[in-house]
Amino acid sequence: MQAPLFEKVHLTGQTDRPLIPANLSCERYIWLTLRLPNPPRQTDRLPLNLSLIVDRSGSMSGDKLEYVKEAAIHALRLLTESDRAAVVIYDDAVELLAPSRAITGDARDDMIRRIRQVRTGGMTNLSGGWFTGCDQIADFMTKDYLNRALLLTDGLANVGMTDHEQLVMQAKELRRRGISTTTFGVGHDFNQFLLQGIADGGGGHFYFIDKPNQIPNYFQGELGELLTTVARELTLDLNLPGGVEVEILNDTLHERLGQTLRLFLGDAYAGEIRHLGLKLKLPTCALGQDLALAFILRYEDSRQRQPVQVEESLQFTTATAAACENQAVNEEVLREAGRLEAERAKMEALQREQQGDIPGAQAALRRAGVVLKAAMPAPVAGVFMQELHQMADEMELGLTEATRKVKHYQTYLAQRSRKDYKK
């Protein structure tokens, strides 16, 4: 019997200018859009194999821990008997509060009872809690599950493995083994660069939760995406003609394989719209020597359990200088690319500011302003340059920790086309 037809991810690409000047090098922007199919029926989804990993250190006392417990309980109530979950709590010690089990009615009731009894403790052994939760996932991991660790903390990793680079490398290794990690940072005392690094390396998402009462919304948002995942481990290959150089404006994980640039896009949920911005440096081409770019998107359809490939292409046509000067410009592409250029500069500036390098942070913002002014029409560039100048002025006066985290998270969301579930 022939397998039923199913809707693929829709991939489209646009450029700011399709003509390139003969015998001159130039720069062009590309704006790619991925549109995911509509939500599947609940019976079509992959079952989940989760670990809920909760910081219960002393700083989590009061509203924070109570809202986390509420969110974890709500998450368990969204799961069915086809799903599995474990619950790990940690302070300076790690406790497997509930080992991984199928979410039957009795199992859910028992896990909820244990969660309600959790109290705060001491320090923050983030790595120990995280690794214990991932071990629970690994014990039952198969290709038929969507495997994810949900790691929540409000503080700094100060017990166990604490080195930023080592923790990010562990996230990448776990992802290679099939376990992804999403991180939730609560309040203003955690390291946002560490939690984002773990999430990026681990193929999950990063959330900044400003107020404890937002915790359930963020948990529900993440679970909602997991429960409607329709495409797994997307990769996008860009086959580059000789001499073409590419900058990825979204800060997406990638690797170069000869003439192919591969972007790792993780999993995607039903109805999601994701954007990618690229800046190309094109080599000198003679008149009539056009450049063609081929894009190949690969993923596993989670309903059909089969690999899918989607292709798209763009062509740049060489033309005279006069024709290039008079060609129509796609201002939407320039506006979106300009946004990503600005957000990338803001993230670099925030990293430098966090390290105490205020002059370096302001210089990064100024450099981005120069790039935008040269590449964009004045009205487009002006909006973003004003934002960059404003951030430079704020850094001169000094950022509060709350402001740092808000700006960091806004930039993270913009770079990745993510929703903000606090709203």
Whether 70 shows a pLDDT value over 80: the answer reads yes
What value does the mean pLDDT of the chain take? 92
Inter-CA distances, 100 with 56, 85, 384, Å: 19, 5, 48
**Domain shared by 185 and 238, yes or no:** no
Q: What is the DSSP letter of 24?
A: S
In a domain, 36, yes or no: yes
Which H/E stretch holds residue 203? Answer: strand 203-209
Q: In total, how many domains does the chain have?
A: 3
Are 274 and 335 in the same domain?
no
| Per-residue exposure over 345-365, b if at least 16 CB sit within 10 Å of its own CB, e if not | bbbbbbebbbeeebeebbebb
CA 409 to chain centre: 11
Segment 108-131, tens digit of pLDDT: 999 999 999 999 888 889 999 999
Asked whether residue 344 falls in the same domain as residue 208, the answer is no
Same domain, 59 and 150: yes
C-alpha closest to that of 309 among 326, 295, 322: 295
Token pair listed for 243? 């001499």
Residue 40, pLDDT above cutoff 80: no
pLDDT in the model for residue 4: 45
364 and 314 both lie in a single domain: no
Q: If pLDDT is split at 50, 70 and 90, which confidence band does 63 have?
A: confident
Is the predicted pLDDT of residue 240 greater than 70, yes or no? yes
The last residue of one of the domains, among 212, 227, 242, is 227
Q: For residues 147 and 279, state if they share a domain.
A: no
Q: How many CA atoms lie within 13 A of 87 on its CB side?
A: 23
102 and 34 belong to one structural domain? no
Q: Are residues 216 and 116 in the same domain?
A: yes
CATH of the domain at 309: 2.60.40.3670
- Residues 76 and 30 both lie in one domain: no
Assigned domain for 294 exists: yes
Nearest residue to 154 (alpha-carbon basis) of 405, 414, 423, 419: 405
Amino acid identity of residue 89, one-letter, is I
3-state secondary structure of 128: helix
Mean of pLDDT values over 357-378: 93
Q: Convert the pLDDT of each residue in 374-418 to its tens digit.
A: 888 888 899 999 999 999 999 999 999 999 999 999 999 999 999
181-192: pLDDT as tens digits: 999 999 998 999
Model confidence pTM above 0.85: yes
What is the band of 42 on the pLDDT scale with cuts at 50, 70, 90?
low
The residue that leads in pLDDT, 255 or 38, is: 255
Task: Give a yes or no: residue 274 inside a domain.
Answer: yes
In a shared domain, residues 89 and 204: yes
Q: What is the per-residue pLDDT for 155? A: 82
The verdict on 193 and 114 lying in the same domain is yes
Q: Is the domain of 196 the same as that of 316?
A: no
Provide the residue range defining the domain that includes 212.
46-227
